[in-house]
Structure 1
Amino acid sequence: MLKYVNHDIVFQEFPDEVTLAINLSRCPCACPGCHSTYLWGDNGEELTLDRLRALAEHYGTTITCLSLMGGDNDPRSVLELLATIREEYPHLHTGWYSGRDQLPLFFSEYTPPTYVKIGAWRAELGPLSSPSTNQRLYRYDEDGESEDITHRFWKK
């Protein structure tokens, strides 16, 4: 089961997107130095497909992307929800921020989100904007082919 604590419109999580970022709780990663430790606990309300649809409808065309931030406690539910949103709202891109270093083995069973960020937070390596980061952001096309676009965060 997925639970969400809050959501916000953000502009920096995915290149060229206005994103509705939904913060999921119950994070099992517990990365040292995490800036969102409040997401480790079992708090918030259940994120159902109906609730996700209601959020997508509420924001309508003011957003270009809907993203789940976390959800590593139940990656199947993350992938199912995002695949449904991608199918029902073809104008929306979708994204998933995972704190895991690898995608789950069953990832290829689902229509992939448009964007997937993987990688645990490691303070000594920095965030996506650091060329030394261990985190990676991938963009997936409709055929499931991916491209590492992490470099788009690096200042030139």
Structure 2
Amino acid sequence: MLKYVNTGVVFQEIPDEVTLAINISNCPCRCPGCHSHYLWDDIGIPLTTEALDDFVERFGTDITCFAFMGGDADPKGVNRLAQYIHETYPEYKVAWYSGRLRVAPEVRKSDFDYIKIGPYIRHLGPLKSPTTNQRLYRKTENGEFEDITHRFWRKVAL
């Protein structure tokens, strides 16, 4: 069962979106240098469709996107929740931040608008570093996914 520890409305996780980031616990990735060690433990509140309904009621017009931050211990569960959001609340985008190298084959990528993959590797840096191994993909209008990681990199003024 997926559990979440906390949430936050954020502006930097998904470009051009006001995102409700949902921090999911029981992370099996345990990346060295992880800034969220507390999410390694199996703690928190069950992340259910009722919890998502509550988030919509609480944050409704303030957000444009839901982001599942983790959930690699139960990718099918994350997929079910993404599908629920799209079917019940089609006005919202859905994103998933996964620490895995690839999306699990049992996951329907079409249920997501954004997918970030890749473990955090300290010497390569996070998404904002041009040397990062992590990638953020956005679903295009034709259903393909394009790499938009470059949107996190600052442009240097000349």
With the shorter chain as reference, the TM-score category is: over 0.9
Q: CA deviation at 1:18?
A: 0.6
Deviations 1:58-105 (A, max 9, x none): 211110111110000000010110111022111111110000011101
Q: CA deviation at 1:144?
A: 3.1
Aligned residue for 1:16, secondary structure, equals coil
Structure 1 counterpart of 2:130:
131
Gaps of 5+ in 2: none
Structure 2 counterpart of 1:85:
85
The two structures have a TM-score, normalised by structure 2, of 0.94
Whether 1:113 aligns to 2:98 is no
The two structures have a TM-score, normalised by structure 1, of 0.95
Counting matched residue pairs gives: 155
Contact 1:112–1:140 (8 Å) recurs in 2:
no
Moved over 4 A (4+): none
Aligned residue for 1:111, secondary structure, equals helix
Over the matched positions of the two proteins, sequence identity in percent amounts to 57
One-letter amino acid of the structure 2 residue matched with residue 129 of structure 1: K
One-letter amino acid of the structure 2 residue matched with residue 98 of structure 1: S
Deviations 1:98-144 (A, max 9, x none): 00011101223x63311110000000000101111000000014653
CA-atom RMSD in angstroms: 1.2
Gaps of 5+ in 1: none
Aligned residue for 1:50, secondary structure, equals helix
